[in-house]
A and B are shown apart, each in its own frame.
Chain A
Amino acid sequence: MKIIFIMIGISFIIALFFLVAFIWSVKTGQYDDTYSPSARILFDDKPNSTLDKN
């Protein structure tokens, strides 16, 4: 039943990858603002738009 440990190993690697990605995302301020991204996607990037770009 070694395959179980092997698969747990791979699953851990995947999980680790996600953990690193998670820590990176928190550290780089991806989640400092948890409101404006949801609103921002509603605006298009049409040329000469009058929207105030941040």
Chain B
Amino acid sequence: MSGQIEKFSYDNRISRMFLYATLLWGAVGLLVGVLIAFQLYIPALNFDLPYTTFGRLRPLHTNAVIFAFVGNAIFAGVYYSLQRLLKARMFNDMLSKLHFWGWQLIIVCAALTLFLGISTGKEYAELEWPIDIMVALVWVIFGVNMIGTMVKRREKHLYVAIWFYLATFVTVAILHIVNSFEIPVNLFKSYSWYAGVQDAMVQWWYGHNAVAFFLTTPFLGLMYYFVPKAANRPVYSYRLSIVHFWALIFIYIWAGPHHLLYSAVPDWAQTLGVVFSLMLIAPSWGGMINGLLTMRGAWDRVRNDAILKFFVVALTAYGMATFEGPMHSLKTVNAFTHFTDWIPAHVHIGTLGWNGMMIFAIFYWMAPRLTKNGKLFSMKLANTHFWIATLGMILWSVAMYWAGTAQGLMWKQWDANGLLQHSFIDTVIAIVPMYLVRAIGGTLYLLGFFIFIYNILKTLGSAQAVHEEEAEAPALVLNNENHSKLSGYLRHRILEKKPLALTFWAAVAILVGTLIEMVPTFLVKSNVPTIASVQPYTPLELEGRDIYIREGCNSCHSQLIRPFRTETERYGEYSKAGEFVYDHPFLWGSKRTGPDLAREGGLRDDAWHFRHMKRPNSIYDDAYDNPPSIMPAYPWLITDDLDVSNTPDKIRAMQTLGVPYAEGYDANAVGDLQEQAAGIANNIEQLLSGTGEDVVADEIKNKEIIALIAYLQRLGTDISKDTNN
């Protein structure tokens, strides 16, 4: 099967570019993470500015860390390993460059828009539609470049890492496209195609698989290349790697509903998600064990070699996170861990531990190999980084496990009279010290990251770069006799040799899938049980809802009351699927840093909300020496005018999505909006008159705060309305 020896070169420059980008965005993402961690301890760090409040910075942090830091690192590692595994240069240098600069452009656009509060409101998919399209395009460029390289490979066998990369490409492409169906209002605003429960299911099908196919499969692929390389040992069991790859990808795609346990999603779907989540332990641990045992015979080197240390902790964190995930999927465990800080703890074991430590190890190993010298600047510094990062991660996660467990149990605690023992704010006060420990842990991790940057830059800067690494390998020659026996193989080989045909058929396959998905959405009337009294939002409430999305209120407030007595007692009647039919997008949230808001409507008067938004602690001043609320203030909502120029467009967009506003209602929308706003403003003026905080209705009636109050006062009120009159 071997042909003539061919000389070629590996493109190291592209790996180096992605490596630099990883360092830059990693620093940004972690820095924002540390800032928002401190904000939960010192709310003054929100600076009373829209751009620096927690609600806007939290999506910025998650996007920066997942898609910018981890994303660039994946590409750096994939571009390095793929070429060597296939014994071929990347398919096309121009595509590599387009991929790199396209991805950086996306990141810059993402950062700017998230600062400005331009967000779809869907977790881990906050970017607005023009950026979504850019992501899809750049992702396809990545895929074409990767598949093109496979076509011109010189190694017949596709090493297991490549399968992981392929699965990453295919699945993320489909998930991203399906979850991003939205109807644009203008360049900066769109509404999710799906509503309520359906939106929730698509979102968490996406969200869970984003974890699976963006944070897991590419890293398992990288693990199968870089761990054996660093340990200089073949992988423990190649057979196991194959078995666990196929098992993992077949099982992962069904586990999404475990994010929606006890929600309005049908029970059988929840149970399906639970069963598959439990099954996931096997392939996940297959990968972890395979990675750890690859170190056999090299354990003595772990003592001195920081690279192996990072790999060991990364794989251990992976094992922990993939044990914890299935445990959280059990309904009994989920009942008291969901919405608590246990979830960020779990996530950060995955990101700080698994992804972060993998990246550190890979870069410490790879960076010297991009230079003539081939030596890491300082192994001692790398060891220092290891201990600081590990300590930071432990402080971070132990604090959050503690906080999550404590708060989860406090929420469910009854007193002797059968009443709730703790008010919500008391459960916050109880865990605030843990927020400080978490922030310190994050700071340590960030400190380690700066050491990492220094070490890598010194390594790259102190030796001559090798941008083109010369290599040689025999050409891949096909054995024609085998072909006649294996017609399926033959067809694939022919297809493989024609990248255009392959791309075409791949596009057809994706289109068919899209049609199968889209057509029923258009044609089939949803059978979510409708509730007659549930009505569309008024224009003012709709605008208020968009402010709620813009400020990222759903980062800290859920809108889903689960059917537990502890929750119905605290928040009111549990949430029904039919209540969310006009919610584009759904805003159930996944974390209760503050209380649930699903039945906030009518609980307090308009003036309470007005004062609370201006200064959240104003409501606690009498009862506490140290006002306890950690919610940021939103003073700009009181000073900024509500922009109603898009209101008719928004109504029309909602009509397109099937929200039953009367024909031509967009023309009356602004009038109705102003009338409702005037009513609320008058009410606030009356309630506050003589309190020392007097306001004039005419001065506040066109402010953003009025719209937000209108929305909050509407939340969860529809089902208690009398429909008979």
Interface set of A (CB-CB < 8 Å, partner B) = 1-7, 9-11, 13-15, 17-18, 21-22, 24-25, 27-28, 30-31, 33-35, 37-42, 44-49, 53-54
Contact = CB atoms under 8 A, between A and B. Distances in A.
A41 B229 CA distance: 8
Interface in B165-199: 166-167, 170-171, 174, 178, 194, 197-198
A41 B225 contact: yes
Given A18-B250, A24-B492, A47-B472, A37 B157 contact: yes
B228 interface: yes
A10 B170 contact: no
B473 interface: yes
Contacts of A48: 472
Contacts of A14: 170-171, 174, 253
B627 interface: no
A6 B489 CA distance: 32
Contacts of A13: 174, 509, 512-513, 516
Contacts of A39: 234
B167 A1 contact: no
B380 to A, nearest CB: 27
Given A11-B254, A42-B234, A45-B472, A34 B489 contact: no
Contacts of B228: 38, 41-42
B520 interface: yes
A53 B318 CA distance: 36
Contact of A34 (B170, B242, B256): B242
17 contacts: A2-B198, A3-B194, A3-B197, A4-B266, A7-B178, A10-B178, A10-B513, A11-B253, A13-B174, A18-B246, A27-B489, A28-B486, A37-B157, A37-B238, A45-B87, A46-B470, A48-B472
Contacts of A2: 198, 520-521, 524, 526-527
B234 A27 contact: no
B5 interface: yes
Contacts of A5: 520
A10 B470 contact: no
B527 A1 contact: yes
Secondary structure type dominating chain B contacts: helix
A24 B5 CA distance: 28
Nearest to B527: A1
A13 B517 CA distance: 11
B528 interface: yes
B658 interface: no
B571 interface: no
A54 B475 CA distance: 11
B526 A31 contact: no
Given A3-B521, A42-B233, 5 more contacts: A5-B520, A6-B520, A18-B246, A44-B84, A54-B2
Contact of B170 (A17, A33, A44): A17
A54 B520 CA distance: 53
Nearest to B254: A11
B235 interface: yes
A30 B527 CA distance: 46
Contact of B517 (A10, A24, A41, A47): A10
B497 interface: no
Nearest to B490: A28
A2 B155 CA distance: 45
Interface string B509-543: 10011001100110010111000000000000000
B133 interface: no
A18 B249 contact: yes
B687 interface: no
A9 B84 contact: no
A45 B488 contact: no
Given A5-B520, A28-B492, A34-B239, A17 B509 contact: yes
Interface string B456-498: 0000000000000011111000000000001011001000000
Contacts of B202: 3, 7
Contacts of B517: 6-7, 9-10
B224 to A, nearest CB: 9
B201 A45 contact: no
B159 interface: yes
B652 to A, nearest CB: 24
Contacts of B225: 41
Contacts of B194: 3
Nearest to B198: A3
Contacts of B473: 45, 53
A26 B433 CA distance: 55
A10 B174 contact: yes
Sort A-B residue pairs by CB-CB distance and give the 7 closest, nearest first: A38-B234, A3-B198, A45-B471, A38-B238, A34-B239, A39-B234, A38-B235
Nearest to A17: B170
B173 to A, nearest CB: 10
A20 B232 CA distance: 33
Nearest to B493: A28
B269 interface: yes
> Residue among A5, A13, A14, A49 with the most chain B CB within 10 A?
A14
Contacts of B229: 41-42
B372 to A, nearest CB: 13
B250 A15 contact: yes
B525 to A, nearest CB: 8
B85 interface: yes
B205 interface: yes
B217 to A, nearest CB: 11
A3 B157 contact: no
